[in-house]
């Protein structure tokens, strides 16, 4: 079947006649332009010989027998081998038998690689499942001995769930913890006894259950049972260091909060922000007995404060204090925090509850 491609000279232009839709990309690459009035592709007469040769090959290709219908995932591979899509045949057409053979070999190689990768993923998932099952059959005494731990508070037991990732279940299974793994919570160390299940949580299910506090994000979760264990000497030392460091930061932040201004103000549009301190949940900001969260921003020699629930794009603030000395004091608190928390974010326990602190210093 021929698509009757041909050329016609009109003035200083060479027009390509016939059904050019399947080969439009090839004509573009050859330098052709689209004439909206005639609904045809054209090129300058100086390139007549070149375009006639190209059109001849394309017409032969469209009318040839070298067609293939691979899955859509191979479309880019087909194009790279010179394939063009024939909408009437619903098939890809190749310019020669050699191109078709090369494409078929490339598709077979790609499919073989994908099959090997999927098999490796399944093998890894099976190995993880086997290891999880074997570990689950170990008695508590053996898990404690292998982890080098001892029970705390008589071995208090509790069930937890943890977010392990997104994507396909098979890809996140190896990321799930194993019985015998030890993890830290604000109330101490816990040793995993038994992994119960891996389950998917969608946004619809979270909204239906109104469970954003239980599931802070969508994806795969793993549920497991754990028992409380004592910290090691090194862990206890690091815990004590963290407590002292966080207490010092909270004290400094509390001192800053008492000096925040009372006058309303607006951050200038072109202001240079020197530092930002964000605190969520209960913190030492504010004057209430339980504290309040919010944002402190140092802009030049001024310190602005957003009340809880501020929006990122809202430039109106609750209070402002124009004081270079106080601004330097707030900067010192931010710099000190970053010295001990280089990542700029930390979860800190207070006497009331846990708080999340994020600090950013730009200059």
Strands lying side by side in the sheet with 219-229? 157-165, 219-229, 188-201, 182-185
Compute the CA torsion angle 333, 339, 341, 343 (nearest 10 deg): 110
Q: Is 186 exposed, middle or buried (0-12, 13-18, 19+ CB in 10 A)?
A: exposed
- C-beta of residue 71 within 8 angstroms of C-beta of residue 100: no
- C-beta of residue 33 within 8 angstroms of C-beta of residue 97: no
According to DSSP, residue 341 is labeled -
For 253, the enclosing helix (H) or strand (E) is helix 233-258
What's the pLDDT tens digit per position in 309-327? Answer: 554 555 456 688 889 999 9
Query: CA-based angle 219:115:99, to the nearest 5?
Result: 120
Regions of the chain with pLDDT less than 70:
1-4, 59-65, 88-89, 170, 173, 281-293, 308-318, 347-355, 363
What's the pLDDT tens digit per position in 146-203? Answer: 888 999 888 889 888 888 888 777 677 677 778 888 888 777 888 878 777 788 899 8
């Amino acid at each position: 079947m021929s698509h009757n491609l041909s050329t016609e000279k009109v003035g200083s232009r060479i027009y390509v006649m016939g059904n050019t839709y399947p080969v439009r990309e090839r004509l573009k690459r050859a330098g052709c332009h689209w004439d909206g009035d005639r609904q045809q592709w054209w090129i300058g007469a100086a390139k007549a010989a070149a375009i006639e040769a190209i059109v001849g090959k394309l017409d032969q290709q469209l009318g040839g027998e070298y067609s293939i219908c691979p899955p859509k995932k191979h479309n880019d591979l087909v194009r790279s081998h010179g394939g063009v899509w024939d909408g009437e045949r619903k098939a890809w057409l190749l310019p020669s038998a050699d191109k078709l053979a090369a494409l078929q070999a490339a598709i077979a190689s790609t499919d073989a690689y994908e099959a090997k990768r999927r098999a490796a993923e399944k093998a890894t998932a099976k190995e993880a499942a086997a290891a999880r099952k074997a570990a689950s059959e170990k008695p508590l005494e053996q898990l404690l001995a292998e982890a080098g731990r001892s029970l705390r508070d008589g071995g208090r037991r509790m069930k937890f769930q943890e977010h392990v990732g997104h994507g396909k279940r098979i890809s996140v299974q190896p990321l799930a913890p194993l019985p015998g793994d030890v993890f830290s919570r604000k109330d101490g160390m816990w040793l995993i006894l038994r992994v119960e299940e891996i389950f998917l949580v969608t946004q619809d299910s979270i909204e239906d259950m109104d469970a954003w506090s239980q599931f802070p994000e969508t994806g795969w979760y793993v549920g497991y049972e754990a028992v409380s264990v004592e910290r090691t000497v090194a862990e206890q030392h690091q815990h004590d260091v963290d407590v002292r460091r966080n207490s010092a930061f909270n004290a400094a932040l509390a001192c800053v909060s008492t000096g925040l201004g009372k006058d309303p103000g607006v951050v200038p549009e072109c202001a240079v922000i020197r530092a930002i301190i964000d605190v969520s949940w209960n913190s030492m900001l504010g004057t209430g007995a339980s504290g309040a969260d919010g944002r402190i921003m140092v802009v030049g020699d001024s310190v602005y404060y957003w009340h809880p629930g501020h929006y990122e794009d809202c430039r109106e603030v609750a209070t402002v204090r124009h004081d270079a000395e106080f601004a330097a004091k707030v900067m010192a608190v931010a710099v000190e925090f970053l010295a001990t928390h280089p990542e700029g974010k930390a979860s800190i326990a207070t006497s009331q509850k846990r708080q999340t602190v994020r600090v950013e210093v730009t200059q």
